[in-house]
Amino acid sequence: MSYEKQAPLKAQSSKLKAVLGFTTWDPAVGITPVMKWLEKSGWQFGYQALDKMRRIDCDSFIPRNFQHRYTYTSHISLPLSIAKKKLFRTDIHLYGWEDIEWGMRLRDSGVRLLYAPDAKALHHHRMTLEESLRRMETLGHSAVEIQKKVPEFDRVPKGWKLFTYRLLALLPTLAGKHRKAFLSGLSEKR
pLDDT tens digits for 69-85? 999 888 999 999 999 99
pLDDT tens digits for 120-131? 999 999 999 999
Mark out the alpha helices in 24-158 (DSSP H runs). 33-41, 47-57, 80-85, 98-108, 129-149
Instruction: Give the pLDDT of residue 24.
Output: 94
132 is in which domain, residue-wise? 3-189
d(Cα 163, Cα 64) in Å, to the nearest integer? 27
pTM value is 0.84
Whether pLDDT at 62 is above 60: yes
Counted domains in the chain? 1
pLDDT tens digits for 145-179? 999 999 999 899 999 999 999 999 999 999 999 99
Phi, psi of 15 (to 5 degrees): -95, -20
